[in-house]
Amino acid sequence: MAKIKTSYFCQSCGFESAKWLGKCPSCQQWNTFVEEIIDKGPKNAPEWKSTNTSAGRVNKPAKVQEIVYAEDHRLITPDKELNRVLGGGVVGGSLVLIGGEPGIGKSTLMLQLALTIPKIKILYVSGEESEQQIKLRAERILPKPTSECYILTETSTQNIFKQIELLEPNLVIIDSIQTLHSAHIESTPGSVSQVKECTAELLRFAKETHTPVFLIGHITKDGMIAGPKILEHMVDTVLQFEGDRHHVYRILRAIKNRFGAASELGIYEMQGNGLREVSNPSEILLSQREEPLSGVTISATMEGLRPMLIETQALVSASPYGTPQRSATGFDTKRMNMLLAVLEKRCGFRLGAKDVFLNIAGGIRVEDPSIDLGLAAAIISSHEDMPVPYKICFAAEIGLSGEIRAVTRIEQRIAEAEKLGFEQIFISKYNKKGLDLSKYSIEVKTVAKIEEVFGLLFG
């Protein structure tokens, strides 16, 4: 018998070592190394139809001028939000990894996709649920599916590939990659070596047969996708399904995308019969209040190519303790501290002994610096207890010297504010170059310093 080879893997980052280590030299985590069997002798590649036909082919180098480029024909799904995040549809032969917290709706999203794509054959492989459980969910989502969807409850990759060869599906969904195991590796399902091997087999299948494959992945308590980091490097697209289980809205965000922009996001609403697409997110992110409130402003932000108006909230109060509290939900705390320092240094507002709390309404997280001006106005509005008129919105970045800096795609931001009925929008005067203000019915205020904004708003 061949000698069994073992190695030690870090369960946090996938670092491989020949011996056990107390601390991982890669991710600096303690007690994460586990011994796994990596080779039990010669192994054969998994047998599927494409492997048998291409076994005699030998790859040879080719000049870049001689390579024939064929335009990728994307599979357009009925889910417009998913199409946007993927860059225009599902690319043939692509490997897509979807991660998210337990119970957030990953399986619901994929089963809903499998039930609604017409005229193609889809194989939904589940290693976590029985056929009866999936049938119950399918009845709740779509009692009469419009696609040819097949369900397979299996965890062995060899058996899965046998069924794929018999069925010849046009799309494969794996739920989840942590439950699969390959007979070529003797470690348990979900281990680093098993996840790498199963993903490599599915990657070879996707590229050789030109069949798109969706993988559902678990995440760790830190929010990272479970398994080695190489898992994210192997796949073509990494999607993150985010949201609070106590709220109805979910966000599908592209972290990596080889076939489109990696900054797009899709928004869904969780309902009893599945996920509903939210085509106009600005309307759900803005609260319909009847009376003006202090500390609340509206900011125009961009997520990929999509403009959105979001509600930025601030609360400034006297600190009962010696050290004031600083807390931000949905916004970078370090950037909040920078804005507070600018307001104190350049505008003279005494915020050093105040508790400051920021919140981005709707449960989303924003990294666009264009909401700086809206947040600063919300902070001063709460500090002075003077409400900002509801029909005013903001789209500008604030520099350390208190200057109002220009932001990108200002025309789309202005058009979105105009569409939702706003009367004024504050932008940087450096955005005015090449901007035709006559085509907008909304009043565009151009400012250069932060003091001008507070003078116009609060007098």
Q: Note the pLDDT tens digit of each residue in 181-205.
A: 988 877 788 888 888 889 999 999 9
Tell me the average pLDDT of the chain.
Answer: 87
- The predicted pLDDT at position 2 comes to 58
Q: Is the pLDDT of residue 52 over 70?
A: no
Q: Note the pLDDT tens digit of each residue in 122-137.
A: 999 999 999 999 999 9
Percent of the chain predicted with pLDDT > 70: 92
- The predicted pLDDT at position 71 comes to 65
- The predicted pLDDT at position 395 comes to 96
Question: Which is nearest to 375 in space by CA: 406, 352, 342?
Answer: 342
In angstroms, what is the C-alpha Rg of the chain? 26
Q: Which residue has the tokens 């281990």?
A: 191
- DSSP category for residue 136: H
Q: Is the pLDDT of residue 284 over 90?
A: no
Higher pLDDT: 235 or 319? It is 235
- The predicted pLDDT at position 103 comes to 86
**Residue 51 pLDDT level (bands cut at 50, 70, 90):** very low
**Residue 219 pLDDT level (bands cut at 50, 70, 90):** confident
- The predicted pLDDT at position 348 comes to 87
Provide the annotated binding site.
Answer: 100-107
Averaged pLDDT for residues 258-285:
85
Q: Note the pLDDT tens digit of each residue in 344-388.
A: 998 888 888 899 999 998 778 888 999 999 999 999 999 999 999
- The predicted pLDDT at position 329 comes to 92
- Which of 45-59, 359-373, 399-413 is predicted with the least confidence, judged by mean pLDDT? 45-59
Outline where DSSP puts E strands in 16-106. Answer: 16-17, 33-39, 95-100
Tell which phi-psi region holds residue 66, choosing left (phi > 0), alpha (psi between -120 and 50) or beta.
Answer: alpha
Sequence-separated (6 or more) residues with CB below 8 Å from residue 14:
192, 196, 227, 228, 229, 230, 231
**Residue 211 pLDDT level (bands cut at 50, 70, 90):** very high
- Which of 313-322, 334-343, 390-399 is predicted with the least confidence, judged by mean pLDDT? 313-322
Cis peptide before 176 (omega within 30 of 0): yes
The CA-atom distances, in angstroms, between 54 and each of 200, 204, 304 are 17, 12, 40
The CA-atom distances, in angstroms, between 201 and each of 45, 150, 234 are 8, 21, 11
Higher pLDDT: 260 or 152? It is 152
Q: Note the pLDDT tens digit of each residue in 86-122.
A: 988 999 999 999 998 888 899 999 999 999 998 899 9
Q: Is the pLDDT of residue 330 over 70?
A: yes
- DSSP category for residue 109: H
- The predicted pLDDT at position 27 comes to 83
Tell me the HSE value of 308 on the side-chain side, using a 13 A CA sphere: 30
3-state secondary structure 317-354: EECCCCCCCEEEECCCHHHHHHHHHHHHHHHCCCCCCE
Averaged pLDDT for residues 44-57:
47
- The predicted pLDDT at position 372 comes to 96
Distance, CA of 147 to CA of 48 (rounded, Å): 24
Q: Which residue has the tokens 């290693």?
A: 127
Q: What is the full DSSP assignment across 122-133?
A: EEEEESSS-HHH
- The predicted pLDDT at position 54 comes to 46
- DSSP category for residue 188: P
Q: Is the pLDDT of residue 285 over 50?
A: yes
Provide the annotated binding site for ATP.
Answer: 100-107
Instruction: Judge residue 41's burial from the number of C-beta atoms within 10 Å of its C-beta, 0-12 exposed, 13-18 middle, 19 or more buried.
Output: exposed
- Which of 50-54, 182-186, 203-207, 247-251 is predicted with the least confidence, judged by mean pLDDT? 50-54
* pTM of the predicted structure, to 2 decimals: 0.78
